[in-house]
A = this chain, B = another copy of it.
Amino acid sequence: MVSIKKIATDIGVSAATVSNALTGKGRVSEEMTARIRSRAQELGYRPNNLARALKTGQTGILGLVMPDLTNPLFPRIAQMLSIAAERRGLGILIGDSRGSADEQNEVLKRLVDRGVDGLLVVPQKGTSPEMNAVPLAIINTASDPRNTVSADHAGGGALIARHISDIGHRNVVILGGDPVSEVQQDRISGMQSAMRQEIRSSVLWGDAGVAEVAERVRAGATAVLTTSDLLALRVHSELTRAQFSVPRRVSLTGFDNMSLASVMHPTLTTVAQDVEAIADRAIEILTAMIRGQAHPDTGRTLPMRLVVRNSTSNPEI
């Protein structure tokens, strides 16, 4: 391992000077700087981040905590965050808070112990992560008072409901996965608030809800709006089993625009988050917090985008 000292003795200057030259803190003559730089190059010098971190108190590492790494959105979020972080020279340490809120706080502590400069957390449904050792950015939904950045889930719900209304549906069923999830609640209330008076709607939840969908359709509903693409796929199975064709007999929508949405049959009308923008802003805000600055966009949401495919059409009549 070639250290700053090696370069220093090699050239015959002090370690401090090498450090200054390399980090460009000025205070060193151009010529000396050049000599130091080129020697460093030759030796293949790479700064030891640990030593630097110990001295400066900053590791350049961010912790990312997700409620369940199995969440189908995780890969995209993780990828976009890792790209956004890398662009700023930061690394990402992962943590899985699977299960309890307690576990979540444990994970936060562990990451802090490992020296992260800040934390990005997608909270466990219905919990509020606790940690004041380092800045914390929360990616959740607008109705979470501590939310730092998120997609406009309610707005997304409104988009899809308006689409369904526009093409003529007047009797719809809304299906959520878990009422504890603030995100899903927001999606649903967005749907409800966008539906005109004349639309009849009711909300179903979870497995029981999935099982009940076919019956509701039989009773007259012409569209099923779900809070996730995976849920939509399950509903599609149920409807197929019950001989209801999508979209001829029932329209069906998802949420999140996962890859399966464009690959299932029929392809799924859904609503997409701009994950890249969310990731970028999350990192942006968090780094500002780390520098001790407030960021004007804190708490603001990012618009969602309606993606119309083949699972929705006019109701028959």
Which of A's residues lie within 8 Å of B, judged by CB? Answer: 46-51, 53-54, 59-61, 68-72, 74-76, 78-79, 82-83, 86, 91-96, 98, 109-111, 113-115, 230, 233-234, 236-237, 240-241, 259-260, 263-265, 267
Collect the chain B residues with CB atoms within 8 Å of residue A74's CB. Answer: 75, 78
A242 CB, nearest partner CB in chain B, Å: 11
Knowing A79-B96, A114-B49 are in contact, say whether A237-B265 is a contact too (CB < 8 A): yes
Q: Which of B50, B71, B236 contacts A54 (CB 8 A)?
A: B50
Question: Are A91 and B79 in touch, CB under 8 angstroms?
Answer: no
In the complex the two chains form, what is the Cα distance from A111 to B59 in whole Å? Answer: 13
In the complex the two chains form, what is the Cα distance from A111 to B91 in whole Å? Answer: 8
Collect the chain B residues with CB atoms within 8 Å of residue A82's CB. Answer: 69, 94-96
A275 CB, nearest partner CB in chain B, Å: 11
Knowing A49-B113, A230-B260, A233-B264 are in contact, say whether A76-B83 is a contact too (CB < 8 A): no
A110 CB, nearest partner CB in chain B, Å: 7
A72 CB, nearest partner CB in chain B, Å: 7
Knowing A76-B70, A95-B82 are in contact, say whether A50-B115 is a contact too (CB < 8 A): yes
Collect the chain B residues with CB atoms within 8 Å of residue A259's CB. Answer: 72, 230
Collect the chain B residues with CB atoms within 8 Å of residue A86's CB. Answer: 96, 110
Collect the chain B residues with CB atoms within 8 Å of residue A60's CB. Answer: 114
Knowing A260-B260, A263-B230, A263-B234 are in contact, say whether A49-B115 is a contact too (CB < 8 A): yes
